[in-house]
Structure 1
């Protein structure tokens, strides 16, 4: 009887360690492996073993819910078929050598909570289909070769807390829809080619804790509405083309003390508005609330 019980236990454990994912999902994983040179990954998959043993793959209820292959020497393009993994909650391909574009089909992964494709060699625009990822909390695409204007559809991501797009070549204005992301805590757009003025609506992003617009081509006055961001812990909006006066409070908060670049490429510090003028401005802001 004891032997039978032991065998039953072994069978149960062996069964629980296997996953019966669908043929479509397994083919999607195999496609990712082949198109990103899986044979030379740092942590390879043994394709003869069950999917549960594959590095960086997490499965729940026979569905692939997480791929974490960061810093794993993936070389090649992200296949569109990865979006057949419709139950994915996390897709982390940080710090590899991925090239090509972000697949337009990425918008099919509507269960995604985290998307991190940073520190690769991706090019092209962010597809507007990203606006379909309504459950996304973190979108990190920094340190790539991405370009073009930001799609206004990013403003559909109401649960977003982190938007990190720094160190690319994005251009144009910040879409007004982004100012409506009330849950956003981290907004990092530094080291791009953004331009235009900073909308006063930024004062309504009450959850912001980290704001970096450093090293772009923003111009115009810096809105005093920034002082409404009471949760702000860190800000760097220097090395832009902003002009006019700033308050002493904003100068202290900015990492580089509001150092801007003039039309000749020379650095200068914005003048601090007098206390009386600042109080007048604050009064005017209060009356608008």
Structure 2
């Protein structure tokens, strides 16, 4: 009888609200659920559906990485108020990002890379106060990088590479004191690199290659003590002298196309450790904490 009792308790705790269940069904029906690599058995309890984690009757994680999702992200996703991890990467999702995404105040990881998502990034993305990782590379995103990113005080990883973003890099990114990796590779970004980015003391990877950035490299970039990867080639910089103080021995990768005005002591670069920094096609089918 005790076994039956505790089993019943577990089932009750695993049950989610009708609103959250309907949101999951919206995802299933609007994103080609019947043809997923690992489809859901809608007759089973939601806690047993592939990629869904339920805690205390709340949906806290959705991991549908590389699962043949086709269609658009439903607006109702904003109702999953306890969601901390959302991984929809490496699928064929189209349409625009729903504005309702910014209502996921508990969200720590948002991965939508390698899809076909278009449109602009939400200007109010700064509402995602808990966000630590946002990866959206290889989509068709357009418009500017919202200033609101500067409000994401917990952000450690931001990767917007290989989209169609334009305009300038916001000065507000210099406020992201916990940022460790910034990938803006292969967009149409213009203007100069903000000197405010010199405040990013924890920044290890800075990938700005293949844009239309110009002007002089700020001295502050060359003083980033934690920097291990720097890719700035294929831009329109007219001076690289700001990198004179860069810690060469600490670099794992340094790609640039400086001209004769920039003499650099490459003898101090540890070539045994040097690697290509563009690792934006790597992912994992598990969601890490």
TM (norm. structure 2) is 0.86
Tell whether 2:161 aligns with 1:166: yes
* Aligned equivalent of 2:125: 130
* Aligned equivalent of 1:47: 42
After superposition, where does 1:265-276 map in structure 2 within 5 Å? 269=259, 271-272=261-262
**Distance in structure 2 (CA, Å) of the matches to 1:109 and 1:71:** 22
- Conserved? CA contact 2:214–2:236, under 8 Å: yes
* Aligned equivalent of 1:117: 112
Deviation at 1:15, TM superposition (A): 4.0
Deviation at 1:224, TM superposition (A): 1.7
Q: Which has the larger radius of gyration?
A: 1
After superposition, where does 1:177-188 map in structure 2 within 5 Å? 177-188=172-183
Secondary structure, counterpart of 2:198 in structure 1: helix
* Aligned equivalent of 1:286: none
TM (norm. structure 1) is 0.86
- Conserved? CA contact 1:243–1:270, under 8 Å: no
**Distance in structure 1 (CA, Å) of the matches to 2:92 and 2:5:** 41
After superposition, where does 1:223-238 map in structure 2 within 5 Å? 223-238=218-233
**Distance in structure 1 (CA, Å) of the matches to 2:240 and 2:77:** 50
* Aligned equivalent of 1:16: 10
Secondary structure, counterpart of 1:58 in structure 2: strand
Structure with greater contact order relative to length (CA < 8 Å, sep ≥ 6)? 2
Deviation at 1:83, TM superposition (A): 1.0
After superposition, where does 1:89-128 map in structure 2 within 5 Å? 89-128=84-123
Secondary structure, counterpart of 1:271 in structure 2: coil
Q: Deviations over 1:161-197 (max 9, x none)?
A: 0000001010000111111111100000011100101
Aligned residues: 261
Q: Deviations over 1:51-106 (max 9, x none)?
A: 11100000111000000000000000000001111110011101000000000111
**Distance in structure 2 (CA, Å) of the matches to 1:230 and 1:138:** 22
**Distance in structure 1 (CA, Å) of the matches to 2:97 and 2:86:** 13
* Aligned equivalent of 1:74: 69
Deviation at 1:255, TM superposition (A): 4.1
Indicate the structure with greater helix content.
1
The verdict on how the C-alpha distance between 1:235 and 1:254 changes in structure 2, with shifts beyond 3 A counting, is farther
- Conserved? CA contact 2:137–2:159, under 8 Å: yes
Superposition CA RMSD, Å:
1.9
The verdict on how the C-alpha distance between 1:163 and 1:245 changes in structure 2, with shifts beyond 3 A counting, is closer
The verdict on how the C-alpha distance between 1:41 and 1:245 changes in structure 2, with shifts beyond 3 A counting, is closer
- Conserved? CA contact 2:37–2:67, under 8 Å: yes
